Amino acid sequence: MEEEFEVSESQSQFSFDVKAFIFRVLSYWKLFLLFIGVGVFIVYQQNIRTQQSYRLGTQISIEEASNPLFTSNTSLTFNWGGVSGKVQTMMTSLRSRSIHEEVVDNLKFYITYLKQSRFRKDDIYTYAPFRVDLMPNTFQLLNTPLKITFLDGDRYELSFSFEEEMSRGTQNFSNKKKGNIVIPAGTFQQQFKLDEWVETPYFSGVITLAGDKNVAPNGEYFFMFNNFDAVVSKYRNKLSIDNPRNSAILNLSMVDVNKAKIVDYLNETVEVLSKEQLERKNQFVTNTITFIDRQLERVKSQLVLNADSLNNYKQENKIFNLTSEGEAINSKLTELEAQRDVNIQKLAYYSSLKNYLETSDSFTELPAPAVAGIDDGNIVSNISKINALSVQKSQYAATVRKDATIFADLNRQIDGLKLVLLENINSVTNEIKREQQTINSKIAKEETKIKKLPVAQQKLFDIQRQYTLSEQTYNMFLSKRGEADIIKSATVSDIVVIDKAKDTGATPIDLKLSSRYLFAIIGGILPPLLLAFLITFFDNKLHNPQVLEGLSKIPILGVVGKNNAENNLAVHLKPKSTIAEAFRSIRSSLQYFYKNRGIDGTKTIMVTSSVSGEGKTFSSINLATVLAMSGKKTVLVGLDLRKPKIFGDFGITNDIGVVNYLIGQNELDDILVKSKVPNLDVITSGPIPPNPSELLIGEPIDRMMAILKESYDYIVLDTPPIGLVADAFELTEYADATIYVVRQDYTKKGMINLVNSKYEKGEIKNISFVYNGYNQKGKYGYGYGYGYGYGYGYGSYGNGYNDDGNTKKSFMERLKRFFNLIPKS
């Protein structure tokens, strides 16, 4: 036992005990069952309450659909920037709030139809047997289910209740204005007829049966009005847009609990988008038609006036036709004036366009250049481009922040096109003015010829010429109007629906209800598993003798089971118990030790431990008892002067003891007490002194030990814990053998490092461990069936010799032990 001892670094450091973790997990099987049961129950309750969600979609294609009637002379459309630009514009439109507001308004999704199920009110939408139509410009109560009970074929009861008076929101779905209404506490209940208008503070409208559906008497349903903006935001966020590989294909999809709503919303969204796109595609045509209609009204009025003037003049002056010379001059002059009017119209258009470019930020309301007879390719092309960019900019404004870089880029492109257009306008305007001067000079020559005609002919000539010009202008605008109508009616949308949204037996996208139980089981396993891991990870206590063997090379003298006796005299009270056999095994081991070391005469055994509570006094008493029972004169000396204990178990007092002897107050015979165990005397520690460490040093303790050796075969010293005070180190010089008591599930592994260090330095010699409080199953279900070959094997005495008995446990203690949440030792 004096072999050199070294503490390895791995022994002094923490290591995760995998085996302890596994056994701890196995010991928590009841917790696993509890948590899995709770998880399965929770999932079951969720399953019967949860509405499944579904995903449905539609697919559209963005094509470059040109107008079949388009020619260079009917330039009433503009370029959107190719298919790629159209796709981005469509995606921007689909994300805009205006699109979704129109869809929600068209479908009336702000009205929800409900039916009470076992755990919730389900949205029945198309399955509702009735429909609600609202009275225009009336406020409806929001977010409150209104109950409707059908009484017979044509009557129903409308009702709802509030436990206390409260203020609730209302909304006018005609203009989307919001308001508030104070609802008194109590129940609102009133009967109405189907197909008749109802006007109440909470609902104003009419309820009709849907199609050919019938309702059973006393059938109960609900309908509820939702905040319009909230509904729009909800569906706007739900719509998913996918543009695979930046192609011309758009996949639109949506997730909701009601498949019919998804189908209607997706199809209506495509319909509204197609309508909006077609309107924008025909923007030039629409603007042009509006412009032409205004011009037609103006020219028509002028034409009527000129016709009346011409007819009146002919009748009054009896002149109905011009002379051949006058006809020739009139024809020539009319042609020249027509050319001049065209140029005036072009100049007016260019002037308006220039002013528009210089003063406006939006370029989406210009009529087409073709209306003014402008066929300059650069101007027509640049107007189309600047219009397309302006449309794109207005679209982004609905979904993109105003400080986004996309707006700066679009503005740069628009500004560049504006500069080019302004230069083109100046150049073309100058050319037209030069041409106009030439035409004016030709008109002046023809007017000179007219002056040579008779005065009556000159007057008729002027009137007829004005009529002819008005007629030509009117016919020209009328022709343009017809052209625009043809182009508008022939224009088709660039959106082609590949697959309409349709419920073809969609399956829920949520986790299958049966699959959720698997996650419930996993969720039930994880908490106990995590608990076992954390406890094992932070656990620094000894739980079986094998752990102790791994921490130290100091031998284990014996293993003592758990004491179930009424006091510490376990060997005396139950000599056939496993504990008694354990101490007999320790006695045999000590005798073997003394024989090996050649120690004769009186043997002194010092018993210590790390801290209080490890069973040091228990081991001292029972070791002394088993030695005395072998016929050897034994004395048990209580040298734990700070916290004396041994007197109570023997039924003696602690009035006088070692302290009284050491201070010279009493003789040794005065403090010796005969115990009820044959051959065993006891010396208690006596009153607690102020200087225990000093009393254990010097001649009095030497003299006492010398006297005791003359009278006894064994001296058992019950000393203070070595991990708390230094008193025990002062007594090691008197001990032939030192027993260091550790306790299962109590002694910390770090304390073993302390005794290892003392042993390595030679401060403690001839030391052995006694493993106390051993439970064969262990706190964590190890079940080693431990035996050391010292004459003690725990399991071998379970039959015939086991006289341990059981003590009653409280209900709470048994409940805690059922889940292995408290130590068994």
CATH classification at residue 666: 3.40.50.300
When pLDDT is cut at 50, 70 and 90, the band that residue 311 belongs to is: low
802: which residues sit within 8 A by CB, 6+ positions away?
Answer: 576, 577, 578
Q: How far apart are CA 169 and CA 305, in angstroms?
A: 61
* Between 822 and 101, residue with greater pLDDT: 101
SS3 346: helix
Q: Give yes or no: residues 453 and 567 share one domain.
A: no
Percent of the chain's residues with pLDDT above 90: 28
Q: Give yes or no: residues 239 and 288 share one domain.
A: no
Q: How far apart are CA 154 and CA 170, in angstroms?
A: 28
Amino acid at 792: Y
When pLDDT is cut at 50, 70 and 90, the band that residue 743 belongs to is: very high
List Cβ<8 Å contacts ≥24 apart for 779-782.
779/27, 779/543, 779/744, 779/745, 779/820, 779/823, 779/824, 779/825, 780/20, 780/23, 780/24, 780/27, 780/543, 780/820, 781/23, 781/24, 781/26, 781/27, 781/820, 782/19, 782/20, 782/23, 782/543, 782/544
Question: If DSSP states are collapsed to H, E and C, what string results for 24-73?
Answer: HHHHCHHHHHHHHHHHHHHHHHHHCCCCCCEEEEEEEEECCCCCCCCCCC
Largest CA distance in the chain: 176
Whether pLDDT at 365 is above 70? no
Question: If DSSP states are collapsed to H, E and C, what string results for 683-737?
Answer: ECCCCCCCCHHHHCCCHHHHHHHHHHHHHCCEEEEECCCCCCCCHHHHHHHHCCE
Q: Give yes or no: residues 376 and 307 share one domain.
A: yes
Burial 53-81 (b: 16+ CB within 10 A, else e): ebebbbbbebeeeebeeeeeebbbbbebb
Whether pLDDT at 23 is above 90? no
Whole-number pLDDT of residue 283: 65
> What are the C-alpha distances in Å from 565 to residues 562, 614, 618, 793?
9, 16, 11, 20
Residue 485 lies in a domain: yes
Q: Give yes or no: residues 59 and 41 share one domain.
A: no
Q: Give yes or no: residues 169 and 288 share one domain.
A: no
CB atoms under 10 Å from CB of 730, counted, come to: 20
The token duo for 587 is: 């006695």
Whole-number pLDDT of residue 488: 67
Q: Give yes or no: residues 565 and 685 share one domain.
A: yes
pLDDT, tens digit, for every residue of 79-130?
Answer: 444 455 678 878 888 888 999 999 999 999 999 999 988 888 889 998 889 9
**Exposed / middle / buried, residue 190 (Cβ in 10 Å: 0-12, 13-18, 19+):** exposed
Residue 7 lies in a domain: no
Do residues 190 and 158 make contact, with C-beta atoms less than 8 angstroms apart? Answer: yes
Q: Give yes or no: residues 474 and 485 share one domain.
A: yes
Phi/psi-derived region of residue 413, left when phi > 0, alpha when psi is between -120 and 50, beta in every other case: alpha
Q: What is the sign of the dihedral through the CA atoms of 740, 745, 751 and 752? A: positive
Q: How far apart are CA 745 and CA 781, in angstroms?
A: 12
Whole-number pLDDT of residue 130: 92
Whole-number pLDDT of residue 820: 52
Q: Structural domain tally of the chain?
A: 4
The chain-wide mean pLDDT, for the chain, equals: 79
Domain, as residue range, for 179: 54-63+102-267
Residue 159 lies in a domain: yes
Q: Give yes or no: residues 745 and 605 share one domain.
A: yes
Residue 73 lies in a domain: no
DSSP letter at 763? S
Whether pLDDT at 420 is above 70? yes
Q: How far apart are the first and last CA of the chain?
A: 30
The CA-based dihedral angle spanning residues 645, 651, 656, 661, taken in that order and rounded to the nearest 10 degrees: -70
DSSP letter at 81? S
The token duo for 185 is: 């506490």
The token duo for 478 is: 């009328």
Residue 747 lies in a domain: yes
Q: Of the residues 463, 495, 527, which one is the last residue of a structural domain? A: 495
Whole-number pLDDT of residue 796: 34
199: which residues sit within 8 A by CB, 6+ positions away?
Answer: 135, 138
Chain-centroid distance of CA 305 in Å reads: 76
SS3 260: helix
pLDDT, tens digit, for every residue of 208-234?
Answer: 998 777 788 888 999 999 999 999 999
Looking at residues 604-631, what average pLDDT do you find?
Answer: 91
DSSP letter at 373? T
Residue 69 lies in a domain: no
Whether pLDDT at 202 is above 80? yes
Q: What is the sign of the dihedral through the CA atoms of 348, 354, 359 and 364? A: positive
Q: Give yes or no: residues 521 and 612 share one domain.
A: no
Percent of the chain's residues with pLDDT above 70: 78
Chain-centroid distance of CA 362 in Å reads: 43
Q: How far apart are CA 157 and CA 162, in angstroms?
A: 17
User: What radius of gyration do the chain's Cα atoms show?
Assistant: 54
**Exposed / middle / buried, residue 700 (Cβ in 10 Å: 0-12, 13-18, 19+):** middle
Looking at residues 781-808, what average pLDDT do you find?
Answer: 41
pLDDT, tens digit, for every residue of 544-602?
Answer: 888 888 888 899 999 998 888 788 888 888 888 888 999 999 999 999 888 888 888 89
pLDDT, tens digit, for every residue of 482-504?
Answer: 777 777 666 667 788 888 988 88
Residue 521 lies in a domain: yes
Q: Indicate yes or no: pTM above 0.85.
A: no
Do residues 394 and 364 make contact, with C-beta atoms less than 8 angstroms apart? Answer: yes
Q: Give yes or no: residues 219 and 293 share one domain.
A: no
Whether pLDDT at 76 is above 80? no
Whether pLDDT at 696 is above 80? yes
Residue 2 lies in a domain: no
Whether pLDDT at 742 is above 80? yes
Q: How far apart are CA 659 and CA 671, in angstroms?
A: 10
Q: Where are the alpha helices (DSSP H) in 397-498?
A: 405-450, 455-490
Whole-number pLDDT of residue 610: 86
Q: What is the sign of the dihedral through the CA atoms of 513, 517, 522 and 526? A: positive
Burial 469-481 (b: 16+ CB within 10 A, else e): bbebbbebbeebb
721: which residues sit within 8 A by CB, 6+ positions away?
Answer: 608, 609, 610, 611, 612, 614, 616, 728
Q: How far apart are CA 120 and CA 122, in angstroms?
A: 6
Whole-number pLDDT of residue 809: 52
Q: Give yes or no: residues 730 and 750 share one domain.
A: yes
Nearest Cα neighbor of 615 from 505, 776, 745 is: 745
625: which residues sit within 8 A by CB, 6+ positions away?
Answer: 569, 571, 572, 583, 677, 680
Whole-number pLDDT of residue 450: 57
Query: Which residue matches tokens 């891991």?
Result: 533
Nearest Cα neighbor of 133 from 228, 196, 206 is: 206
When pLDDT is cut at 50, 70 and 90, the band that residue 143 belongs to is: very high
Looking at residues 411-430, what average pLDDT do you find?
Answer: 83
When pLDDT is cut at 50, 70 and 90, the band that residue 192 belongs to is: very high
Nearest Cα neighbor of 685 from 648, 640, 716 is: 640
Q: Give yes or no: residues 212 and 305 share one domain.
A: no
Q: What is the sign of the dihedral through the CA atoms of 372, 374, 379 and 385? A: positive
Q: How far apart are CA 477 and CA 30, in angstroms?
A: 93
Q: How far apart are CA 637 and CA 621, in angstroms?
A: 10
Whole-number pLDDT of residue 162: 86
Q: How far apart are CA 284 and CA 367, in angstroms?
A: 6
Whole-number pLDDT of residue 793: 36
